[in-house]
Structure 1
Amino acid sequence: MPPAPNAQPPATHRAPRWLWPFMLLLGSATMVVAWSSLALATGRQHGWLALLAALEAAWMLRLGGMPAGWPRRLLAAATTVAMAVAVQWFVVAGHIGGQMGMAPWEAAPKMGAFHVWILARLANTWFDVLCLALAPLLALRAAR
């Protein structure tokens, strides 16, 4: 049956363009907390979650209404790297701070970058490193 002559196409609902920073911040913070908690609870780094973090960053930018293009792609990749660094930092801070009776968020500001780098290198397996390296590339692709 053909549509009525006065029928209008269904309205598409789009998120306001100013919403993407808040969605990206909330999604990233949630991912960092969940990933860090899982890593501290199991004693493993779970580098495969970097791939999910990349998809989450791209998804938050798309849902938040950020226009497509290279700025969105680069922001998704940079956010993925920032989440991976934050998780590594909090996991190391959780292990070291736990030995001193401190929570990860209390120990994190006291950690030095070189100390975190050395301990993260020791803790990550080759698979974790591979996933951490591929995650920004996945974010670039997913955020197009």
Structure 2
Amino acid sequence: MPKPAAPSSSWFAFLLLLLGTAGCAALWILLAAATGRQCSWMAVVAAFDAALLLRMVRVRPGMLRALWGMLATAAAIALANWFIVATQLGKMLGLLPWESALKLGAHHAWTLSQLANGRVDLAWLGAALVIAVVASR
């Protein structure tokens, strides 16, 4: 049985990682909107998702793959928190989540994220970054 061909360039790996990160963040946002909670434990799911995607596209093991896994997890955390804040704020202002996300400033998003994320949430987010590095190696 022939082996599946390895991706010929790194753009495929980057594209798949980008899509996977966005998809995981979207799932996290939907879950948070449905429950009314931060659902910070989803950061760990994002970490394992990034590690799995990096292995699927056969990125060489090592510190570079661990760094990519951590960056993808950090991007999922930032994207999810931005849109969770935008969704909650948009509900109050009568805006759709993406309309609110485009109008939301960085300082305002940072302030509201700090207010929404407690110690347990921050522990989940920090643990997810560590898990991403370890699982992606």
Q: TM-score, normalised by structure 1?
A: 0.86
**Match status 1:114 vs 2:107:** yes
Question: After TM superposition, which residue ranges in structure 1, 4 or more long, deviate above 3 angstroms?
Answer: 10-15
CA RMSD of aligned residues (A): 1.5
Deviates more, 1:46-55 or 1:102-111: 102-111
Deviates more, 1:127-136 or 1:112-121: 112-121
Structure 1: unaligned runs, 5 residues or longer: 1-9
Distance change (3 Å), C-alpha of 1:134 and 1:14 = farther
Deviates more, 1:74-83 or 1:114-123: 114-123
Deviates more, 1:95-104 or 1:11-20: 11-20
Q: CA deviation at 1:125?
A: 2.7
Rounded to whole Å, the distance in 2 between the matches of 1:139 and 1:17 is 25
Identical counterparts, % of pairs = 39
Preserved contact between residue 93 and residue 104 of structure 1 (Cα < 8 Å): yes
Preserved contact between residue 51 and residue 134 of structure 1 (Cα < 8 Å): yes
**Match status 1:48 vs 2:28:** no
**Match status 1:130 vs 2:123:** yes
Q: Note the 1:71-110 alignment, pairs <5 A.
A: 71-110=64-103
Structure with the bigger percentage of helix: 2
Rounded to whole Å, the distance in 1 between the matches of 2:5 and 2:129 is 26
Q: CA deviation at 1:89?
A: 0.4
Structure 2: unaligned runs, 5 residues or longer: none
Q: Choose 1 or 2 for highest CA Rg.
A: 1
Q: How many residues align?
A: 135
Rounded to whole Å, the distance in 1 between the matches of 2:28 and 2:89 is 17
